[in-house]
Each structure stands twice: as C-alpha cells, then as structure tokens.
Structure 1
Amino acid sequence: MELTTVWFALIAILWMGYFALEGFDFGVGMLLPVLGRTDRERRVLINTIGPVWDGNEVWLLVAGGATFAAFPEWYATLFSGFYLPLLLILVALIVRGLAFEYRHKREDAQWKRRWDAVLFFGSLVPALLWGVAFANILRGVPIDADLEYTGGFFNLLTPYALLGGAMTLLLFLTHGAMFIALKTDGSIRYAARTLAVKLGVVAAVVAVAFLGWTQLKTGDAASALAFLVAALALVGGIAAAAAGREGWAFLGTFVAIAVGVAGLFLALFPDVMPSTLAGGTSLTTTNAAATAYTLKIMTVVAAIFTPLVLAYQAWTYWVFRKRIAVHHIPETVLAAGPR
C-alpha cells in the first residue's frame, strides 16, 4: 500500500476519533441550558467532561498537523477556501475553553450565566460548521487548474452542506445526552436518557437523508457498508437508551459517528478535495501529497507516539469513570475548576 493511502487512512482515523470523542463534549455544552436547571446541576454537567474535554481536542490538533505535513496542497486549499468557517470554529473553541476555566472564578449568578452562554454557543458553532465543512469537501468546491479555491463563503451554504451541518449538530446532541446519562445519577440521568431517545430519532432521520444523498453522489460499495453499519449502530443505541442500558446506548452513538465518518472518507477517496469546475483540477491523495521521504519520517514518528497518546487518554477515561450527581457538588464552589 502506498504511503499516501496510509496517511489518508490515518487522517480519517484521527477525524473519527475527534468526532466520536469531542462530539459528546459539544453535546454536553449544548444541553447545559436544557438539563441544567440549577447551578449545581449545570456544575454536574460540566464536571462530566471537565477531565477530558481538552484531551479530546488533541485529536483535532493532530489531524490538522498530519494534514499539513502529509498533504500540504490539501491543507493550503482547504484553509484558504474555508477561511471564514474555520476561523469561526477556532474562535468558538477558544472561547469555549475560556468558559471552562473562568466560570468558577466568581460566585456571581450573572457571571456564571454569561459563561454558560459562551459554553453553549462555543459548542453549537463547531457542531454545526464541522458538518457544513465536511459536506463541502465531499460535494466538491470550485478549484482551478492551479489548485486554487475560486469561490466565496456563500458557495459553501448549499442545501447539501446545510443538511450535513444539521446532521452533525443532531448527532452530537444525541451523543452528549447519551454520555450524560452514562456519567450522571439521579434526575439528570433519567432526563438525559429520555431526551437522548427523542433526539436520536430526529438525528437518525437526518443522518439517513444526508448519508443516502452522499452515497448517491460519490459513494461506492465500501462506503455503503460503512453507512449501513453506522445506521444500525445508531438505531441500536437509541433502542438501548429506551431500555435503560446507558453503556450500550453510548457505545451505539460512538460507533455510529466513528463509522459514519469512515464512510465519508471512503466515499471521498482517492480525492481529498474534488473540483466542481469544468477545467479545474481535483486534489487527490497523489497530487496533494508531500514527498515520499517526508511521509516515511512521519510514519516512523506516528508508530512511536500514537500508542503512547492512546494509552494516556484511555487511562484518563478509566480514572474518571465513575458517575457523579448533585450531592457530589457543594453548595458553594469558590476556587475549583472542572473536576
């Protein structure tokens, strides 16, 4: 197998991990005003992701770095053409991180409400725009013969792209509700489980519409199989949530998102960014790749450090595996961050 194909697959795996892990982070943030009726309840929700949210973002950093090093032409065209939506995502992620750190600094209700709003919008914007961005990568964008993006921002807001954004938004909401049901106890747990079933049904309809559209446009047998597995996993997760099996429910949405992303990359391959212009040049794993020597060095580095990162993150989830509830949160929290 060529190293260009290997690195395309590795980048796909990184995005699978990012969406499956950061997806429930976004979901928890968006559900903060829905399931958190009191400050202590909102504190419980924040604490479910407090130990892991920043570690989950490492997948995005590595995916971006790997794309820059392995496929520099893809990286350059992507960031020049998608500059505004990617900038909005970056700003949202920055202020979202600030919300985690600053919310607890003052025992003032208005102060906390403002940071809760920042956390909500800082989760909603990436959840929506990541779907829009990936839908445009799959659909194709105007790229000329010099591999330059020639469109504008509004070229990205097509019905297909907006449907992709709606899909990721609803899937992350469902995934977040499943995670809250898994990680909490008491009234929050049962409310989250009930909400997860309702959200899951809507998310399933939208996901089937988007993945079906994608399959008709660019899919093949491999992507069709991946989409089928993702759909079955999502339905299984919803059924498990309805039966009160939170662990299996969360596993269902986790697999659905990860395998669904895999299907999108299978539908995209061997392109990395198709061109919609008649005389344009599509970016592929061949013409967008770095030199063979660069890919060899990257492969050695990835083989050494990837297992270490995976082991550390698995250890983190194991340490913070227990459920939390309102009675674990003191009435007044003066100087403690997410824990």
Structure 2
Amino acid sequence: MFKHPFYKYSFCLLLIVDIAYALAIVISNSAPISIDTVIASLVWFVTFYWVPVWAAAALIFQLRKNGNKKIALEWLIAVVFMATGNVITDHVLVSLYDDYRPLGVFVIFNGLIWGSCIYCICIYIESKKKVASEKHSRKKAQLATLRYQLNPHFMFNSLNTISAYIHTNPDLADEVLHELADILRYSLDTAEQTLIPLEQELAIIEKYLNIEKARFGEKLQVNYTLPEQLKSIHIPPLIIQPIIENAIKHNAQQNSLTVNIELTVIDNLVRVKVSDNGIGFNEHVLKHGYGTGVGMKNIQQRVNQLGNSKINLSNNNGAVVCLELAL
C-alpha cells in the first residue's frame, strides 16, 4: 500500500518542516532546547504532519484507483484530515502540558492553510512530473518514427542492389539476400533498444558493406580506424550505417570510392568520423545539414533528439561527416 514514492519523500519533507518549525519557535522565544520541546515537536510531527498527510494520501490514491479523481474532493479530504490532526494534536498537548494553550476553533483555519498548501504543492509536483513523462514519451516516439523511416529507405536501396545481379549471379544474390535478412532482423530486434554495443553495430555495418561490395567489387574500399577498447562502448542502433550508405549512394558513379571510418573517444564523447574521396557536399547540404533525401535528414533529427550530441558536415577532398555521441 505504501510503495508509492509519495510516502517516502513526504515523510522526509514533513520531518524537515517539523524540525524547522520547532527550531524557529525556540529561536524566536530565545528558549533553550529541552526534552519537553523535543516531545512536543515529535507529537506535532506524528499527529499533525505525518499521520494526517499519509491518511489523506491513502484515501486520495484509493479514490483515484477507483476512477474518482476530483480536485475539489481531494482538496477537501486534505483540509479535513489536517484539521482533524490539529484537533488530536491539541488534545495530546493539553494532556501533556498544563501551560499549553489550545488553538480552539483556529484548528479549522490551521487545517485549511496547511491542507491547502500541502495539497497544492503535491499537485504542482505531480503536474511537473507528468509533463516530464509526456516529454520523454514524445521524444521516444519521435526517435522510433525516425528509425522506422530509415528502415524501409535502407531496405529499398538494398533490394535494388540485389536486383542488379540476381540474374547474372544467382549464388551471389542468394548470399546477399541472407545478409539483408540479417540486417532487417537486427533492425527489428533493436527496435525497442536505445543503446547497443558498438561491436554489434559494426557487425551489421560489415554485412551492409558486403552487399555493396558485391555490387561495386574492387571499386569500393573501406578502411577502419578503431581502437580495440572502443568495441565495448554503447551507441544508438543504426546511427552509423546511414552515413556510410549516404557516402556510397552519392558517389556510386566514381571509378574508385574509398570510405574511411574512424572512431575515437574525447571528453566523454565518442567521435565517429566517416570520410570519402567523392564529390563532397554541395553548399545547400553544408548549410542545412541534409539535402533532399531521407537518410541524412533523419540522422540529423535523431542526433538532435539524443541530447549532448551533434553532427557536423564538411568537405576535405571529399565529404566528411563527424558525429559526436555522449557516452
């Protein structure tokens, strides 16, 4: 029953409020802290703060569980329980201390003030948490949408590659088809994962490159610069492959294409640098970060969603894509 985070956090906060209130009274009256002060403070905490707040919360949560969520009713419950707690506190303190002056009808006013304040603060925290949760859900949905847009884009390009030699070399076409099936299976298996091991991502990139090498033969050369210890780090799935695909697609007419893939770690960032010896990016792509195609535009949007990550495009004897992902 009391597994809700509210109970744990409210207990600590109410204890702090009670101690602060007791210290304020002691300081304002210039009185020393005595055993009576500690006992009175403990009574206030148990009968006015802790028990009424938890009891009101339990009833409110039960009503919500039954589909009854009305702000006016919940506020009234909070006020009544706080006022009742104040009445009980008054009676306990009167029985313990002869010089204690009971609050009388002011317990209603006290319950109204404290009940309203505590309930409004809780509602505010709940609303902020709900907004944060909805924001996280939207972000997750947007990332999933971008992934699903990339998958068919990649699949159609790969199928076109297979169709180019399915009649001239059936055995090779069958081999490539199996590679494509592995890639699509990987895409489905990682659909709900936000991070996967880099080594796993590189294995899928290798399968993709096998498809492209079957098409281009010796025209396509791929060079890796990858420290061994980096293979254990985790990155978002299918974040590097579209960059390599983009490099190959836009330089398919060249007699020779070299793609360089370099990974390094700098200040808690993994830097992925993909460069080629092709025609480079035009001015529009350099300015906006993507052209008219789907691949690079979706990569840009995915990186923006990840936070603390960025992607830069430049030209240096060909196109250069520098992707920085926060570890």
* TM-score for both structures, normalised by structure 1: 0.26
Greater helix percent: which structure? Answer: 1
Larger RCO, structures 1/2 (Cα 8 Å, 6+ apart)? 1
Q: For the pair shown, which has the larger CA radius of gyration, 1 or 2? A: 2
Structure showing the higher strand proportion among its residues: 2
